[in-house]
Amino acid sequence: MTVRTFSEFIRDFGEYVSQNRYDCIGADSRLGRFQFDELSLWQIGLMREDAPFNNDYSGEWTGKYGVNSREEFLASPRAQDEAFEDLIVRQLHLLQDVLHYVGQTINGQAISLAGLVSAASVTDAHKVHCFLLGDKSHPDYPDTSGVAEALARFRDYEMPYEVATHSALGLHVVGSEGPDVIRSNGSNYFFEARGGNDTFEGGEGIDAIKLAGQLDDFVITRGPVRGAWDIKRRLDDGTEEHKKIENVELIMFSDGEHLSQLDLREVPAEASAEELTLAMKLALWDLTPFAFHAPTTADSDQLELVSVMDDDRPSAAPDF
């Protein structure tokens, strides 16, 4: 896999949305090389608020970058290029609650910083949140096909930012019905697994996986190396679901009515295969009376953006 540069990302994203035409007006009236909409121009300070944002650009322009009209914006490559870097910072700010997904694989799709930024720019940050966290069975679930396409197309590009995460409660990652690969970056990770065959590699913190069902629904055996476990379940259609975990301390079980927690650290290392079932039941705690709920997103003050480039690009997402 070849990782392409940030300059290549700028070029390739422009080619993807407009064939790198600064004078381009899209079918939905988006503008320029990077296909800005009216909401984006307001978010980065080129236009004053003029809701509803229907891409008629009839509101007042602020004069930022010397631009005072739609025509001047379309005629200024410099303004568009600088505005896109502003938009990247703004998108990272809007996406801060899901930036800990970077480096994970959800439903077979690798999640990268460039992919998230591209997806939010092609669609919007709300649809990216829905793609990662939303309930796809909900009648109001939006069309997120553009998100999936952008994540796949722009996954292998460098970005001039890295994500610094700080959490005492843990970072909550919601899985999909397909194959997921989740790797802790050293923080406490809470992986809410769904269907499919998943892999969860814990780190130095206290990591937990949540499974739908109760302990008796699963067959849990030791994996090939110390700290590894195999979790299998026979489904109604006769197929088998397989979760592989390593360096994960807690398994939580929930069937919608009861919540329990298995602390794998309390399972004796010397327990034989025949003794494991009893040992796990003894290490199981009923948490139903405490009505435990994991945070659905990381708190906004737990994430920050740090510049990793030695140039004059903004080093952190501003507080808009």
The per-residue pLDDT for 270 is 87
Asked if residue 296 is part of any domain, the answer here is: no
- The per-residue pLDDT for 121 is 95
Parallel/antiparallel/unpaired status of strands 198-201 and 240-246: parallel
Q: Is the pTM of this model over 0.75?
A: no
Average pLDDT over residues 71-94: 94
Q: 159 with 197, same domain?
A: no
Number of domains present in the structure of the chain? 2
The pLDDT of residue 1 is 64
Amino acid at position 136, single letter = K
Residue found under tokens 């501003």: 318
**pLDDT for residue 212:** 94
pLDDT confidence of residue 288: 83
In this prediction, residues 100-110 reach a mean pLDDT of: 90
On whether both 132 and 210 belong to a single domain, the answer is no
Could you tell me the residue range of the domain that residue 102 belongs to?
6-164+301-307
Q: Between residues 85 and 166, which one has the greater pLDDT? A: 85
Whether 315 maps to a domain, the answer reads no
pLDDT at residue 166, rounded to an integer = 45
* 17 residue type, one letter: V
Q: What is the pLDDT of residue 302?
A: 41
What does the pLDDT average to over 284-295? 69
- Token pair in block for residue 128: 């990216």
Residue 29's pLDDT is 95
In a shared domain, residues 155 and 274: no
Domain annotation covers residue 150: yes
For residue 71, the Cα-to-chain-centroid distance in whole angstroms is: 36
More confident residue, 291 or 227: 227
Per-residue confidence (pLDDT) for residue 306, from 0 to 100: 42
**What does the alpha-carbon distance between residue 189 and residue 185 come to, in Å, rounded to a whole number?**
8
Q: pLDDT digit string (tens) for 2-24? A: 889 999 999 999 999 999 999 99
Summarised one tens digit per residue, pLDDT across range 148-160 is 999 999 999 998 7
Residues 226 and 122 in one domain: no
Residue 178 and residue 127 share a domain: no
Mean pLDDT, residues 61-67: 95
Query: How high is the pLDDT of residue 184?
Result: 85
Domain membership of residue 320 (yes or no) is no
| Better-predicted residue by pLDDT, 289 or 157 | 157
pLDDT band for position 290 (cuts 50, 70, 90): low
Count the residues in the chain: 320
- Based on the domain organization, do 273 and 148 belong to the same domain? no
What pLDDT, on the 0 to 100 scale, is given for residue 163?
A: 58
> Residue 73 — pLDDT band, cuts 50, 70, 90?
very high
Residues 81 and 214 in one domain: no
CATH code of the domain containing 95: 1.10.530
User: Does 55 reside within a domain?
Assistant: yes
Residue 112 in this model has a pLDDT that exceeds 70? yes
Least confident of 113-127, 130-144, 229-243: 130-144
Burial tier of 313 (Cβ tally within 10 Å: 0-12, 13-18, 19+): middle
Q: What is the mean pLDDT of residues 50-62?
A: 89
Residue 100 and residue 232 in one domain: no
Indicate if the pLDDT at residue 233 is higher than 70.
Answer: yes
Share of the chain above pLDDT 90, in %: 62
- For residue 319, what pLDDT is reported? 36
247 in a domain, yes or no? yes
In a domain, 93, yes or no: yes
The full DSSP string for 32-69 is TTTTB-HHHHHHTTSB---SS--S---S-B--GGG--S
Q: What was the pLDDT predicted at 162? A: 60
Residues 6+ apart with CB under 8 A from 142: 126, 127, 130
7 against 256, higher pLDDT = 7
pLDDT tens digits, 300-311: 344 444 433 334
Q: How far apart are CA 120 and CA 20, in angstroms?
A: 19
Judge if 146 and 200 occupy the same domain.
no
> How much is the mean pLDDT over the chain?
86
What separation in angstroms does the CA of 95 have from each of 39, 119, 128, 257?
16, 11, 8, 32
